[in-house]
């Protein structure tokens, strides 16, 4: 971790963290595209622990169902339903085996929550580190883009003013020459003035019938 780990730990003190790999908002931020190696490794480890926890819980449920079935068959045998002595002993052996497996799985489950919490905490520290670096990088780039936008706005404003001044100058010069020479100024300059400020070539803008004398 980088220099901010202590401040990250302080911020997380006493917080109840969700299991990050089961959190939709976390996945929206941390896709495969922006996960670094440390995050990817912790994700795999955490997912493995969560899957193991779920698997053990399911196994315990299955074993308990089997144990209940075996016990029901023993009770039924005691009530006169056909169940040989050998079958009865086999059922008892299987029930003992079920109890042993349940106990062993429960022992494993005792340590898993702490291990999941530990890995999840490390993943959150890495998450904060990645977010911190991304925010710093984005902030620098935002500042650069903002500066570029400001410069473009200044240049745009200058060019708009320059364009307006040139259009005004064209209009003033054309009006002055028109006042002196009259309509013949069109032939002198071989141009037609557009009131919007555009100077159009007369030869391309005049209709064929207008060319006839």
Summarised one tens digit per residue, pLDDT across range 84-135 is 677 778 888 999 999 999 999 999 999 999 999 999 989 988 888 888 888 8
Given a contact cutoff of 8 angstroms between Cβ atoms, the answer to whether 124 and 18 are in contact is: no
pLDDT in tens, 36-80: 888 889 999 999 999 999 999 999 999 999 999 888 887 776 655
Higher-scoring residue by pLDDT: 200, 98: 98
**pLDDT at position 130:** 86
Nearest-10 crossing angle of helices 5-12, 85-181: 120
- H or E element in which residue 129 lies: helix 85-181
Which of residues 53 and 204 earns the better pLDDT score?
Answer: 53
Distances (CA, A) of 173 to 20, 28, 166, 168: 73, 63, 10, 9
Q: Does the pLDDT at position 202 exceed 70?
A: no
CA distance readout (Å), 62 to 19, 66, 73, 124, 125: 26, 6, 17, 34, 37
């Amino acid at each position: 971790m980088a220099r901010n780990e202590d401040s990250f730990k302080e911020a997380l003190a006493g917080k109840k963290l969700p299991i990050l790999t089961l959190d939709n908002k976390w996945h929206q931020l941390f896709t495969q595209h922006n996960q670094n190696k440390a995050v990817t490794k912790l994700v795999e480890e955490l997912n493995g622990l969560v899957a193991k926890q779920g698997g053990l819980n399911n196994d315990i449920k299955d074993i308990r169902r089997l144990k209940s079935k075996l016990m029901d068959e023993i009770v039924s045998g005691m009530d006169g339903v056909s169940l040989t002595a050998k079958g009865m002993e086999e059922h008892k052996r299987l029930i003992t085996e079920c109890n042993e497996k349940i106990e062993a799985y429960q022992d494993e489950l005792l340590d898993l929550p702490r291990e999941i919490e530990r890995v999840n905490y490390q993943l959150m520290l890495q998450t904060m580190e990645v977010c911190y670096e991304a925010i710093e990088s984005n902030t620098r780039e935002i500042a650069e883009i903002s500066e570029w936008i400001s410069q473009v706005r200044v240049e745009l404003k200058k060019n708009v003013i320059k364009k307006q001044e040139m259009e005004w100058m064209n209009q003033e010069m054309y009006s002055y020459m028109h006042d002196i020479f009259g309509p013949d100024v069109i032939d002198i300059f071989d141009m037609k003035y557009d009131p919007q400020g555009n100077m159009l070539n007369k030869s391309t803008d005049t209709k064929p019938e207008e060319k006839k004398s």
